[in-house]
Structure 1
Amino acid sequence: MKEDSEVVNSYAKGFLLGALVGGAVGAITALLFAPKPGKELRDELSYRSKDLLEKGQNLFAGQEESHPGVQNDGKTQADAVVRTAREKADDLLQNAEQMLRDAKSKAQQSSNIVTDGISKIKDAASAGVDAFKQEMSNIPPHSRS
């Protein structure tokens, strides 16, 4: 029986949070797309955000009185979400760093291959020039024309 009550409380908390967030998003979206001057829009956003904050505090206070411990449950769940997000961010960062190291290594390998190729081409060109000079020196001067 207690488990059923906890499930109902969990759904109620989720519904309440969803209603608050949905209402806030809907109100902000409506305000942003309404054709109003900047100052008037800012004033209305300020008014509506204060109103939503007050409503949320009132709802939360009512829930806290009828369901003590909800705040601790919410904090525990929020801490778990933050911890999971940090872990995933750390994993992404480590993966990105590894990809960067791999890319640098492959770039260095490519650079080495290109440098070796250029060196071989220079050596071959130099050998060709030397062979040409050698052949030219073997031809008598009066036969070159």
Structure 2
Amino acid sequence: MLSVRRLLSSRTCGAAVRSLHATSSVRKDILTVEEFESSVIKSTKPVVVDFHAPWCMPCKQFAPVLESVISETEGEAELVKVDIDELGELAIEHNVSSIPNVVLFSNGKEFSRTIGAVSKENISAAIEKLINSHKSQ
């Protein structure tokens, strides 16, 4: 059995393990309702909210796609993630009945949403519409 230290120091396996455990620089994990209020509702930028759960395989598969699209916006939109098991009240308040559920906000109001692990093209188009609409306001 490999030790964790050996696994992390290995050239190929270690890099993969570190990338799995690294926190993305393009997203913010929301931990409280107050944090959601300040990061989403009061934001001056367009915000993409990923409602997910740690046990949800489609959520895990979709997360890198969403983070990639957000990074391509070069800071024009922000990504926040809400764990529905930890903040169920937010999921209820925002009518999240299935996951992954991505809600796009502009000026604190829902602009649109996607449900399920949609294609990169679809989520990219939705986020582009959000950004363009936000710019024109």
More strand by share: 2
Greater Rg, structure 1 or structure 2?
Answer: 1
Shared fold, TM over 0.5 = no
More RCO (CA 8 Å, sep 6+): 2
- The two structures have a TM-score, normalised by structure 1, of 0.22
- The two structures have a TM-score, normalised by structure 2, of 0.23
